[in-house]
Amino acid sequence: MSSNHNPPPEEHVRQYSRPNDLKITDIRTATVGWDGWRFPLIRIDTNQGLSGYGEVRDGASKTYALMLKNRLVGENPCHVDKLFRKIKQFGHHARQGGGVCGIEMALMDLAGKAYGVPAYVLCGGKFRDQIRIYCDTPNEPTGKAMGEKLKKRMARGFTMLKMDVGIQPLIGIKDALTYPAGMLEVSDGTPLDRMLDINTIQHAFTHVRLTPKGIQLLVEYVEQVRSVVGYEVPIAADHFGHIGIDDCIRLGEALEPFNLAWLEDMVPWQYTDQWVRLERSLKTPVCTGEDIYLKEGFKPLIEAGAVNVIHPDLATSGGILETKKIGDFAQEHGISMALHMAGTPISTMASVQCAAATENFIALEHHFADVPFWDDFIDIGSKPIIQDGYIAVPDTPGLGFEVNEETIKEHLVADDQGLFEPTPEWDRERSWDRLWS
């Protein structure tokens, strides 16, 4: 008498791995760069041949990620929240959070691949199928030139834009600025936007003041932009310069006729009371957040109603899951979320996963619209990655792409160790990390 063999249910299911048996075996890096930008890329390897990818924020050290290796090797990367809680104490605001955030992106990539689902599924699902991209555009010498450049962005399908409106172009113009002696002097060969004093002193302490003439020149600049672009497309403004809260309010009031989408990072994010003054004084929305780490860092601003838009950067704020939590907390207080991003397609696609899963999301920043090879770092099915101003949310596992190692090789920075080389020097890192006794 024959018996029928009934295979176990999992044999009927396409499996990308055995998630319960998945273990981290290595963490490796490769740093790419161009035009002064540096982006350390993270690869987490496992015992089943799966690898996950993340990215440290521009300009940050890969050491912030590699120091975490010994704390993660042997762990199951699918336990994302557990591992994030284990390592988040080693991040901090601005670039110092980059290592933790890059690791979290790679863990989410691995977990999605292990279960065969996009990372947004691990966040609870998606609210949208495509992500609006807003295109950042650095300084142009005149408002007309800026307007023409923004029109070219619009012709490429971008439906939201950002420009710089700062004090830098006013430096050297008679009677446009008042400042203490030595604060704005330029040494030989120093670019105006890289002067030591004003860029290393917080805004309130520079005592740089806009004169009525200076304000009028900036108003004329924005007026020229609007005369070229019109009023249908939202335009945000950034990089105002290190000026104090009173001058920020004077300038914000003067710019109100131009219906800007938001005024970004006018004062340092740490000064909640100053942001409250800005938000209450101005009729234009105010926005900050690209340097804030973790939900706890955003809570004072959100609970005080000090901003109209929060603006986390996934490579600083804590990665995908933490940034969704930040967005959800902001939504509870009637505040929307845009995402800052100046990175390669790896961190951009991590941001896409988060944006898809966060209901109060507006738009994701893109900083490299004029870099012809930007798309080539990953393979994602269709190119360009950004089409008609949007990125389609991929339905493939993890972050939704395969890396293109040939392009990474072409753009490795000269002083880095190479393309995802082994990192045995970090295997024996030891520390008593527990925060309680």
Q: pLDDT band at 11, cuts 50/70/90?
A: low
Cα distance between the two ends of the chain: 65
The DSSP string of 212-251 is HHHHHHHHHHHHHHHHHH-SSS-EEEE---S--HHHHHHH
Q: Locate the DSSP E strands across 19-145.
A: 24-34, 37-46, 51-55, 130-137
Q: How far apart are CA 305 and CA 297, in angstroms?
A: 14
Mean pLDDT of 174-203: 70
Q: Is the pLDDT of residue 193 over 50?
A: no
Mean pLDDT of 192-221: 83
What type of residue sits at position 150?
L
Say how far residue 266 (Cα) sits from the centre of its chain.
18
Q: pLDDT band at 196, cuts 50/70/90?
A: very low
Instruction: Tell me which residue of 422, 434, 436, 435 sits closest to 69, measured CA to CA.
Output: 422
pTM value? 0.93
pLDDT in tens, 251-274: 999 999 999 999 999 999 999 999
Q: How far apart are CA 247 and CA 252, in angstroms?
A: 8
Q: How far apart are CA 309 and CA 338, in angstroms?
A: 7
By the 8 A CB rule, do 91 and 288 touch? no
Q: Is the pLDDT of residue 3 over 50?
A: no
Q: pLDDT band at 183, cuts 50/70/90?
A: confident
Residue 430, pLDDT score: 79
427, exposed or middle or buried, with CB in 10 Å at 0-12, 13-18, 19+? exposed
225 backbone φψ class: left, alpha, beta (φ>0; ψ -120 to 50):
alpha
Q: How far apart are CA 84 and CA 150, in angstroms?
A: 39
Q: pLDDT band at 1, cuts 50/70/90?
A: very low
Retrieve residue 67's tokens.
């120091």
The residue ranking higher by pLDDT, 128 or 139, is: 128
| Torsion 281-286-289-290 (CA) sign | negative
pLDDT in tens, 26-70: 999 999 999 999 999 999 999 999 999 999 999 899 999 999 999
Superfamily name with CATH number, domain 130-400: Enolase-like C-terminal domain (3.20.20.120)
pLDDT in tens, 300-333: 999 999 999 999 999 999 999 999 999 999 999 9
Indicate the domain borders of the chain: 13-117+406-426, 130-400
Residue 186, pLDDT score: 55
Superfamily name with CATH number, domain 13-117+406-426: Enolase-like, N-terminal domain (3.30.390.10)
Q: How far apart are CA 255 and CA 146, in angstroms?
A: 16
Q: Is the pLDDT of residue 417 over 80?
A: no
Q: Is the pLDDT of residue 215 over 80?
A: yes
Instruction: Tell me which residue of 205, 305, 210, 203 sits closest to 250, measured CA to CA.
Output: 210
Q: How far apart are CA 350 and CA 126, in angstroms?
A: 14
Q: At a CB cut-off of 8 Å and minimum separation 6, what does 361 contact?
A: 127, 128, 131, 327, 336, 337, 338, 339, 355
Residue 437, pLDDT score: 87
Residue 435, pLDDT score: 86
Helix or strand or coil: residue 40? strand
- 198-202, 294-298, 406-410, 420-424: lowest mean pLDDT where? 198-202
pLDDT in tens, 141-176: 999 999 999 999 999 999 999 999 999 899 989 999
Strand duo 37-46 + 209-210: pairing: unpaired
